[in-house]
Structure 1
Amino acid sequence: MKHFQQDLQRPKKMATFRILILGDPGVGKTCVSNLLANSPMTPTRSSRTVSDSEWTVQVRLHQYTPILECPPLPMEGLEGPEEPEERPAASGTMHFVEIYDMNRAAKECPGDRKPLYRKMDGIVLVYNLQDMESQDNLHDWMYGPLLEISQQRKRKRLLNHYHVPILVVGTMLDRLPERPPNRRGAIAHQLGVEEILIDCLDPNALGKGTRNQGKVSHFLNRAVDWMRSLE
């Protein structure tokens, strides 16, 4: 992936963290990636996107804000490792975010993705609200990357509150006859992570001041903390 880093020409002293988008084909991963990467400084895809036959990578800037909260307890029945020593970044520090979205062509030429997975600092799991099978399939999509990250980062357990930060996104909200109850879906509940439900065609789905935008910012801040704690 060296050509991505060369093409993006980021400042040498600005830290970069990486987010992986996972989910079935057709659930709206590209739209989610577009929404996550869109910002006043990178308003159009042409100004923020690099692509090859296997991956599309979008880039944006994120201003880090420290997370002031008590660490969550491990989920029932799973004993997680001790919380790693955190080395939080300074408040207001700008970071580059690289958002990796696997192209459909990747299934034809899978290659070895393990080295890339090991460098991830966050995962976004995407499913279609109209197709609950696509939510069930997320377990298969995330297992390989979580295993590689866990082994690389010397984490003994995969499913605990100290795993790499994860955000769950349900798409096609506009196609449902009514909005689902205000509660987390099965996989978000299992992982103990935040979930957002969006209409991918709504450019303001992650707009400033919305609850969804707040959850995304929280997720990105946690990804920065994860990256910094493992340096």
Structure 2
Amino acid sequence: MAQQTIKHVSTARILLLGQAGVGKSRLTDLLARSVDTPTPSTRSVGDAWWNVQVRLHEYPCNKGMPPTPEWTSSSSPSSSHSSERLGSSCKLFRRRAEAACDMIPYFVEFYDLKSSMRMPREHRNRLFRNIDGIILVYDLLDMSSHDNLHDLLYHPLRQICRHRHKRLRPILKRRHVPILVVGTKLDMLKTRRLRRSGGIAGQLGADEILLNCLDPDSLAEKSRNEGKLRKFLNNAVDFKQYFPARRY
């Protein structure tokens, strides 16, 4: 990881959207949990309007990846010699790739609006302008909570697109803010639901994960869910870099 002091570490902000009762608070606990911050009190940064928890994310910064080696066909006359060259080329390429990749630390703040608060519109809009990624949360036991995500997403996405892009563009354009869709309460689902082709994840071109928010292994290292989460956070950092929030 690149050497940085805490005051030099940038912050990416993630907004959680979903109906009350779908498990956003539990999901925030799961997303922000780490060895260094094992309890909510150790990772909560607090806010009058939002439940905010923070975690550290290592973002891979590739400083000029080495060119892909020229592979030698195994059908060439000297196949054994070619295989040796292929093996040595692979090892060299991996070593050079690892050396070219720096892991840059980022703080990631997860924002979950307190359901009991009626937040002034201007305060809400000010936060939306600085959001780098959105997690849409629904309850697998109540698919109406999935269908209502469209309504919850419209206003934040409109604010982000209006203030983060240099020109107005359709809010569902290809390069909109990174989005991850999460279905909760997987442990309580008695029969696995068939994936619907018209789901919001498919409409937005977003990844979707289904999990039990009470199970820490739901996001175990090197699992498929963890891989999708890491990809989403990397995309959020990319969005922050390429479409920085305007200063007012």
State the TM-score, normalized to the length of structure 1.
0.81
* Residue 24 (structure 2) aligns with: 29
Paired residues of 2:132 and 2:178 also in contact (CA < 8 A):
yes
* Residue 4 (structure 1) aligns with: none
Is 1:102–2:113 an aligned residue pair? yes
Change (3 A) 1:184 1:91: farther
* Residue 131 (structure 1) aligns with: 142
Q: Which amino acid aligns with 1:37?
A: A
Measure, in 1, the Cα distance between the counterparts of 2:197 and 2:139.
14
Q: Which amino acid aligns with 1:208?
A: E
Change (3 A) 1:184 1:56: farther
* Residue 230 (structure 2) aligns with: 217
* 1:204 counterpart SS class: helix
* Residue 183 (structure 2) aligns with: 170
Deviates more, 1:95-104 or 1:40-49: 40-49
Q: Deviations over 1:146-200 (max 9, x none)?
A: 0000000125111122000000000111111123346776000100100000011
Give 2:158's match in structure 1, choosing from 142, 147, 152.
Answer: 147
Paired residues of 1:159 and 1:191 also in contact (CA < 8 A):
yes
* Residue 197 (structure 1) aligns with: 210
Paired residues of 1:16 and 1:95 also in contact (CA < 8 A):
yes
Paired residues of 1:53 and 1:105 also in contact (CA < 8 A):
no
* Residue 92 (structure 1) aligns with: 103
Measure, in 2, the Cα distance between the counterparts of 1:121 and 1:66.
18
Measure, in 1, the Cα distance between the counterparts of 2:197 and 2:178.
16
Paired residues of 1:32 and 1:200 also in contact (CA < 8 A):
yes
Q: Which amino acid aligns with 1:64?
A: Y
* Residue 73 (structure 1) aligns with: none
Change (3 A) 1:131 1:48: same
The structure having more radius of gyration, on CA atoms, is 2
State the TM-score, normalized to the length of structure 2.
0.75
Count, aligned residues: 200
* Residue 48 (structure 1) aligns with: 43
- Once the two structures are TM-superposed, the CA of residue 204 in structure 1 deviates from its matched residue by 1.2
Paired residues of 2:12 and 2:132 also in contact (CA < 8 A):
yes
* 2:45 counterpart SS class: strand
Paired residues of 2:56 and 2:108 also in contact (CA < 8 A):
yes
Paired residues of 1:160 and 1:191 also in contact (CA < 8 A):
no
Q: Which amino acid aligns with 1:196?
A: I
Measure, in 2, the Cα distance between the counterparts of 1:136 and 1:211.
25
Q: Which amino acid aligns with 1:45?
A: P
Give 1:157's match in structure 2, choosing from 141, 164, 170.
Answer: 170
Is 1:59–2:54 an aligned residue pair? yes
* 2:116 counterpart SS class: helix
* Residue 90 (structure 2) aligns with: none
Tell me the percent identity. 49
More helix by share: 2
Unaligned regions of 5+ residues in structure 2, if any? 66-100
